[in-house]
Chain A
Amino acid sequence: MRLFLSILAALFLALPAVAQGTPAAQILADNRALVEKSSRQTIGPVIEALASSGDPAAAAILAAWADRGLGLHDDGRFLLISEAEAGWALRDLSGAEAGQAAKGEVKQLRPNSGVRGLIATALVQFQLADPDPARRSEALASIARDPSPDHLEPLRVAMAKASDPAMARLERLLTLRFDPDSAARVAAIESFGADLGLDLRAALNPLVGTRRIAVAGGAPEGENLAASLTPGKEITREAAYDLLVTADLAPARLTEADQRATLIENIDNGSVAGIPVAALDNRAERDRAYTALEAEGRAPAAATEDEVSAALAAHSFHDVYAEPDPAVTEAAEAALARIGLKVGAMQAADLSLDALSLASIYFLAAIGLAITFGVMRVINMAHGEFIMMGAYTGYVVQQVVADRTLSILLALPLAFLVTFAAGVAMERLVIRHLYKRPLETLLATFGISIALQQLAKNIFGTQARPLTSPGWLDGALVFNDVVSISYIRIAIFALALVFLGVFLFIMKRTRLGLEVRAVTQNPSMAASMGINPDRINMLTFGLGSGIAGIAGVAIGLFAKVTSELGSDYIVQSFMTVVVGGVGNIWGTLAGALMIGGMQKGIEWLNPSNTLAAQTYMIIFIIIFIQFRPRGIIALKGRAAGD
């Protein structure tokens, strides 16, 4: 009745002020009393009317109102006000200047927070209809950040005017969460199919959120049950009883600490309830003492095992959806299952990419060995240190040449030259004398390896040196929210392919390759044919070492360059060659793929623990060698030698 009267009064009072012009002004004038003493319960229709008035200034007026920038002049006009030196600077409701006024002349409207919330919701509609796409997407983003049921209506209004895909998606996301109609929500959930967007999963997950309850008797009525739990099966007896305790349905169990504290409190003349303290050094005696105290009423009763069982039997335990509508939760569960399946497939794809890139790193590290060990059968434990030398060469070049791209391009051939020279020197000075004693080659090259490692430590220090990749290798190629691969890994993959090509070309298509193969197969026959085995051995060893140097530059780009860089890869490299099959480059490739894939696979099974992955992989390799002692691709016939 008061409401009706006040509206009547407002209409009556508004009559003299009809001549104010714009529709917005008209609406405000018509509802002057409501606006002046606005409250959340009554102001709704006015804001609604303003928002749908079609007045171009309506958005500005609403915004000003919410910001306390709307004033009521003593003569009954509504004005936009802002602070000025001597009172208020005035503009009329269409935005035109309207002079100044003293503070006393104009009454500032101060809407409370409830009203401001209503205004903000109404304003969303204007922002969504903004002609500027940037403002529009900003409004969408702000809704997406903090969605609320109030946003649904303005969003739909805005969509009716002008729709874009982002807006439509947001509308569906809001619908599935907030629409009052269950069928509409289910339809919205199903419209997404197996969409991979994180926003969809963020919207669906709260729908299937559950809480665990304990109730006396059977299943509760009126709750959207997710699952019923049997103590001892889906839920442990301890957890179930804890639920009862937290819900005040059962007394707490006696913890050992409580028991001890109670017993200590009740020590009386060196004994507790007649049992001497010295005898309380085991559980049975302590229980007996506590029970005696209970009987005397000096300790709180604690639940015994029988009572616990009885309490568990008298209650039932359930997971309950926070969302009351079963149709919606069912649809959401189904949608999440669909998405989970697709995400799983995508993760598998991502994992294969990771495995491929790890495999190409192993391949790069091992390809030099495939030459020195695989073709020449020289075991070079200093191979890892050649990799390290390559990486440090890259680092030194970057100190001299500032341009990243140029320095990498320079570093690759330089690293090859440095390690080629080192390899040739080592072959001439040491390995040449030990061709008939492979075990001693291993030891001698190991001596060189520790000397080189220490030398690098002396020169470059123990801290890691940076080898920075050029800017165009930063970032990652992103396929979707799940699958992505960094450009640097693609580059390493490409480099590995190039090396494979180079190796095949040298071995199969050049004179050097022919002579290398001849010397490996039968040195004396090759020597009879006029090939100098010494020279060939030297060049082959140099080639293998040089490739290790280039691999070092590539590995240095993503790993830290330290003196231990090489030794981190040496065992894996030998494994790659041995598993793949000695003397065959395709075997090395297969070995790298297998080891890389295995390692990633094990890491996926046990993601927290990369150390365990390496352990299990090595064990697997040891077992694998049982079944294929000559590797995946074994040489057959006389070429296998022995």
Chain B
Amino acid sequence: MKKPALRWLSDIYAFTTSKIVLLALAVLVMCVSKVNASELNVMVNESVMVAELNRSELRQIFTGQRQYWDNGTKITVFVLQDTDELHRQFCRDILQMFPYQLSRLWDQITYSGQGITPIRVTSYQALVDALENTEGAIGYVERTDIVKLRRVEVELK
């Protein structure tokens, strides 16, 4: 039978351990949520009066099938490189496609005259700048960013 002091110590140890476990879990959840769709926002240039798009509409835009907004403004799509984690997250969680699928589709469109494909930028800052400065632009940003852009609610069902 354990002595009371040792039980008290073991309680502190258990409490501390549980806190460490809780803290580790919290960090894990934060890490997981970093690659969750909720941390990514689909954004449009302030000139675009669109508040909501569903997955099907976004696929049409990002695969070049739809090239104009309803008010007649030309849509210009900006994306990051295939290897960028934010782009991979956007493909996977929003479009439900793999980056290589999307790239191949864009290559087929570009090199068989089917239409205009998204513009790839080389850095996150270039993406934000392009979205802010291009009329009719659409893209994505990290949710925590404060940018001069209009957020689009995405219906994922």
Partners in one complex: no
